[in-house]
Amino acid sequence: MTANREQFGSRLGFILAAAGSAVGIGNLVGFPVNAAKNGGAAFLLLYAFFVVLICLPVMMAELAAGRNSRKNPLGTYRHFAPGSPGWLIGGWLALITPYMIAVFYAVITLWITGYLTAIISGNLQALTDPDYFAHFVSSPTIFVYLIAVAALVGLILHSGVKDGIERGAKIMMPSLFVMLVGLVIFVLTRDHAMAGVQYYLIPDISKINAQVINGAMGQAFFSLSLGMGILITYGSYMDGRSSIPGSAKMVALADTGVAFTAGLMVLPAIFSFNPGIDPGTLSDSSVSLIFTFLPKIFLAMQVSVGYVGASIVAALFFLLVFFAALTSLVSIIEVPVSGVMDQKGYSRNRALATIGITMFFIALACGLSFGMVDFFTNFAHYGEASHSLFDLVYDVFYDTILPLNGFIICLLVTYRWKKANWNAELETGEPNYKGSLLERYSNFALGTFIPVILLFVFVNTVLNKFFN
Ligand code: PHE
């Protein structure tokens, strides 16, 4: 079976697919707003520091483990630690986490699809009504969009790694980048835009505290799609010709580059069309920013480009977010699909149908947890409030568990697979990184302070979120 494993067609194809996974809603909205609120350039530096010193070695560990085992995450843990139930917990977590993240990410993607459709139909104005979002997420039309998103993702994954995932990324990623640059140019040429750039980039060290450091670390980790089993899976589809450190560097650079560039658009847009706004009042939640705040900013643009012009800008932005979300969603659903293919020996279509159908119903339950069904709306009680099923899935799987998964993969690679074997995998392919600073650094860091930091972030988040 290993000999027939699907593969990416080229190094560029792999990089675009992995960057497609990494570039998501977090880059386009979460990062810029977090940076602006938490010290501007000081946050940026901190973030870049984490990407290079912590995330890059973990990314290399996931890719190398996948390429060496040629298996999905569970198969990878079984491959390196056969018959050891302790390690299998890591394997199961790396399969269940993406499954659950996919469920809530699908819900956000369907909302984006709904908003995009509304804007294209000329209804930008309606989106700025304060009740629109609450009304929309609890209306039966969400079923239509869920079916549309499921069909699109299903089509891409049905076509396989090279003809589906890679081809999709090769179309969507360059278009995403062109739209982003176009929007940046448009926004930067508006009045007052420079106030936003200043706010984004002027360093303010006094804003940096323990919570901000924790936040920058968490943001960097999930932005690079770490701890979700995605890079183990994508690693298993890489050939041996290109080096893992070289490819990982490109993916990290692309992801950080898009996040940074998105900041040059989102913040100047906010400042230019809302001069005098106090950035401290911006919401921390990407969801409320995208769906309730940004439509107002886009509508305000009509003073300079008219209603149709404003609608075009808004539509481009939502299309951008839609592409970013779709490539991320595809990557994350591929993890359990490859899991079922490997572990059960199912064909791609049968695995896709099994995963897709079960996921569809859980996504539906999450979609119904915004008022339509009380059981799902008030599903759990923690941190002194009641939470919906959607919130629970988000809090546990997106916000909390990723550093734990990262911690386990660090231990697996350094102490079970062993550094010498890991190095041999890193040194396979061109350009060769044998003896490079990156390799030597990663060797030291992955077995020592990186897992300690990840464990610390995990414990800190659990305490803050569930026990305060
Ligand atoms: N990196 C993505 C983001 O920034 C996170 C993600 C990846 C979410 C893959 C889901 C699936 O939004």
ipTM, 2 dp: 0.96
> Tens-digit pLDDT profile for the chain (468 aa)?
445 799 999 999 999 999 999 999 888 888 988 888 888 888 999 999 999 999 999 999 999 999 999 999 999 999 999 988 899 999 999 999 999 999 989 999 999 999 999 999 999 999 999 899 999 998 999 999 999 999 999 999 999 999 999 999 999 999 999 999 999 999 999 888 998 898 888 888 898 888 888 888 888 998 999 999 999 999 999 998 989 999 999 999 999 999 999 999 988 988 888 887 877 777 777 788 889 888 988 998 899 899 999 999 999 999 999 999 999 999 999 999 999 999 999 999 999 999 999 998 998 888 888 888 889 888 988 877 888 888 888 888 887 899 999 999 999 999 999 999 999 999 999 888 888 999 999 999 999 999 999 999 999 888 888 887
Distance CA(26)–CA(141), nearest Å, equals 26
CB of 328 sitting under 6 A from ligand 1: yes
CB of 28 sitting under 6 A from ligand 1: no
- N- to C-terminal Cα distance for the chain? 49
Note if the bond before 431 is cis, omega within 30 degrees.
yes
CB of 428 sitting under 6 A from ligand 1: no
The distance from CA 246 to its chain's CA centroid, rounded to whole angstroms, is 21
* Spatial contact of 230 and 331, defined as CB atoms under 8 Å apart: yes
Distance CA(342)–CA(297), nearest Å, equals 47
Distance CA(303)–CA(178), nearest Å, equals 25
Distance CA(341)–CA(320), nearest Å, equals 31
* Spatial contact of 391 and 384, defined as CB atoms under 8 Å apart: no
Token pair listed for 171: 């179309």
CB of 331 sitting under 6 A from ligand 1: yes
Distance CA(460)–CA(453), nearest Å, equals 10
* Spatial contact of 242 and 76, defined as CB atoms under 8 Å apart: no
Distance CA(461)–CA(118), nearest Å, equals 37
Range of the domain at 123: 2-466
Q: Tell me the CA distances in angstroms from 62 to 127, 241, 299, 407, one per residue in order.
A: 41, 17, 43, 11
Q: What is the radius of gyration, based on Cα positions, of the chain?
A: 21
Cross-strand bridge partners of residue 380? 387
Please tell me whether residue 432 adopts helix, strand or coil conformation.
Answer: coil
pLDDT for position 450: 96
Write the DSSP symbol of residue 242: B
| Probe residue for ligand 1, chosen from 225, 231, 359 as the CB with the greatest number of ligand atoms within 8 Å | 225
Distance CA(22)–CA(331), nearest Å, equals 9
Angle at alpha carbon of residue 137, lines to 133 and 140, rounded to 5°:
130
* Spatial contact of 417 and 65, defined as CB atoms under 8 Å apart: yes
Separation of 330 CA from ligand 1 center, angstroms? Answer: 10
- The count of domains in the chain is 1
Token pair listed for 302: 């009509």
pLDDT for position 382: 86
Q: Tell me the CA distances in angstroms from 223 to 229, 253, 398, 413, one per residue in order.
A: 14, 12, 11, 22
| Probe residue for ligand 1, chosen from 31, 219, 328 as the CB with the greatest number of ligand atoms within 8 Å | 328
Cross-strand bridge partners of residue 89? none
CATH of the domain at 107: 1.10.4160
Query: How many residues comprise the chain?
Result: 468
* Spatial contact of 273 and 266, defined as CB atoms under 8 Å apart: no
Q: Tell me the CA distances in angstroms from 21 to 63, 179, 197, 229, one per residue in order.
A: 14, 18, 27, 12
User: DSSP string covering 207-219, please?
Assistant: G--HHHHHHHHHH
CB of 222 sitting under 6 A from ligand 1: yes
* Spatial contact of 444 and 419, defined as CB atoms under 8 Å apart: no
* Spatial contact of 230 and 332, defined as CB atoms under 8 Å apart: yes
pLDDT for position 80: 95
Name the residue with tokens 């697996």.
Answer: 412
200: number of Cβ within 10 Å: 24
Residue ID of nearest Cα to ligand 1 atom 8: 328
Quick one: which atom of ligand 1 is closest to the CA of 230?
A: 9
* Spatial contact of 346 and 338, defined as CB atoms under 8 Å apart: no
